[in-house]
Amino acid sequence: MKNIVILGAGTAGTTVANHLGRRLPADWRLTVVDPDPEHLYQADLIFVPFGAVKQAKLSRPRARTLRGGVEWVQQAVTRVDRDRRQVQLHDGAQLPYDLLVVASGASVRPDETPGMVGPHWRDTVHEYYTREGALALQSALERFDGGRLVVDVVEMPIKCPVAPLEFLFLADAYFTKRKIRDRVELVYATPLDGAFTRPLAASFLGSLLERKGITQETDFSAAEVDGEGHLLRSYDERELPYDLLVTIPTHRGADFIGESGMGDELDFVPTERDTLLMKGDDRIFVLGDATNLPTSKAGSVAHYQSEVVVENVLRAISGASPVESFDGHATCFIETGFSRGVLIDFNYEVEPLPGSFPLPGVGPFSLLKETRRNHLGKIGFRWAYWNRLLPGKSMFISRQLSMRGKRRPVALLPAHETGESHANS
């Protein structure tokens, strides 16, 4: 019996496991390793601070998300021995593998920024990338009656790069509905030179921030938090005062990546951008947030990558060469408040463009345009996530970016007009 071992049962690992569980030859065994008894739908964490999602809706028992025939080992991984092709577990056991899939994700590390974790942590300094953090921030926002709220991205990469923008847009709506928006100053501090990494989207989203009265503090690399003084300091000695700080801490890959000598300085795995093989090892595939690829650490990326990994695992089993078919495709809904949203679709080479998605001229969703339908798409994706994506069923969207329905504008119009009359190239 030969062995495929998948490390991590988040979106990426679960999707691959459920796909492979139906297609593996009879002489191959499939094992998934993950210590967490629950599967968390991370996309809904953004709504928790605003009381829009109940805690009970955030997760499901892990055993219910894995198809029959997939063995789940509820253990943490301590190390991968690539020479012996073994995975060492926290309890001392060892799992042999013939092929390994690393889908171990990323986690926030607030301890890496001086002063962030201390007596003010989860009092006036918060994060929402974990269940516990999002719930603590919900309580803080309920108590917040005015002042300066700063949202800061410590450094890139982070999970769901648009989530900090979503938080600000939802905060604008939240305080407006509470009738205290005029008493709240919203500030976005980012190490980037704009609201996003690609020019058209950065311009569009920057205009949206401006329209909503949200200040940008760009090229801001946070060096430390002064909890007593309520100050966020950058490496170039700028200071941002705050009454409430919402931080997106440094993200790192799993600890075992570093312990195994498999990662970069942040413990993300160097990965071949087209095949999703680990660089230097043709028996290890990497996907989702665990990679060091120059694409978003987002659920849609894990979905598109999972199809490539499944195909290449099956090709490896049959002795065929891997296909070079992952193009960096990412699709992201961005909540903008007041039951409206924006959708962006892009890859390694093509930036987010206006148009319609997924069908040209039909949609039903609009790209780089703020609409109610885009908001409904994000909300409706919850059902698709649990009932189609995780079980490994078709999502009816190509894993490779399609240019059908997209338009290359000569210039962006103001935010309130964007998407209405862009010229074709």
Residue 251, classified by CB atoms within 10 Å of its CB into exposed (0-12), middle (13-18) or buried (19+), is buried
Q: What is the pLDDT of residue 411?
A: 56
Provide the b/e sequence for 148-160 (b: ≥16 CB within 10 Å): bbbbbbbbebbbb
How far from 405 is each of 223, 246, 359, 360, CA to CA, in Å? 43, 37, 7, 4
How many angstroms separate the CA atoms of 18 and 310, rounded?
10
Positive or negative: CA dihedral 173, 174, 180, 186: negative
As a whole number of angstroms, the distance between CA 274 and CA 389 comes to 22
Task: For 103-125, write each residue's pLDDT tens digit.
Answer: 999 999 999 999 999 999 999 99
In whole angstroms, what is the distance from residue 300 CA to residue 296 CA? 9
* Positions in the chain short of pLDDT 70: 410-425
Fold match flag (2-107+252-318 vs 108-251): yes
Domain residue limits, the chain: 2-107+252-318, 108-251
CA angle, residues 187, 191, 197, in degrees to nearest 5: 100
Residue 41 pLDDT: 97
DSSP code at position 387: I
- Residues 23 and 286: their CA atoms lie apart, in Å, by 19
Distances (CA, A) of 78 to 95, 160, 262, 263, 347: 12, 26, 13, 14, 33
Superfamily of segment(s) 108-251:
FAD/NAD(P)-binding domain (3.50.50.60)
Q: What is the 3-state secondary structure (H, E, C) of 112-123?
A: HCCCCCCCCECC
pTM for the complete prediction? 0.94
Q: In this structure, what token pair is assigned to residue 395?
A: 């999502």
**Residue 77: other Cβ atoms inside 10 A:** 25
What is the amino acid identity at position 196? F
**CB-based burial, 313-326: b 16+ in 10 Å, e otherwise:** bbebbeeeebeeeb
Which of 340, 266, 276, 345 minimizes the C-alpha distance to 306? 276
Q: CA 60, CA 41: separation in Å to the nearest integer?
A: 8
Q: Locate all alpha helices (DSSP H) within 235-298, ordered by sequence.
A: 255-259
Fold of 2-107+252-318: FAD/NAD(P)-binding domain (3.50.50)
Euclidean distance between CA atoms 197 and 180, whole angstroms: 32
For residues 245 and 222, give the distance between their C-alpha atoms in angstroms, rounded to a whole number: 12
CA distance 90 to 76: 5
What is residue 123's predicted lDDT score, i.e. its pLDDT?
Answer: 98
Q: Are 304 and 395 in contact (CB under 8 A)?
A: no
Interstrand relation of 59-61 and 86-89 (parallel, antiparallel or unpaired): unpaired
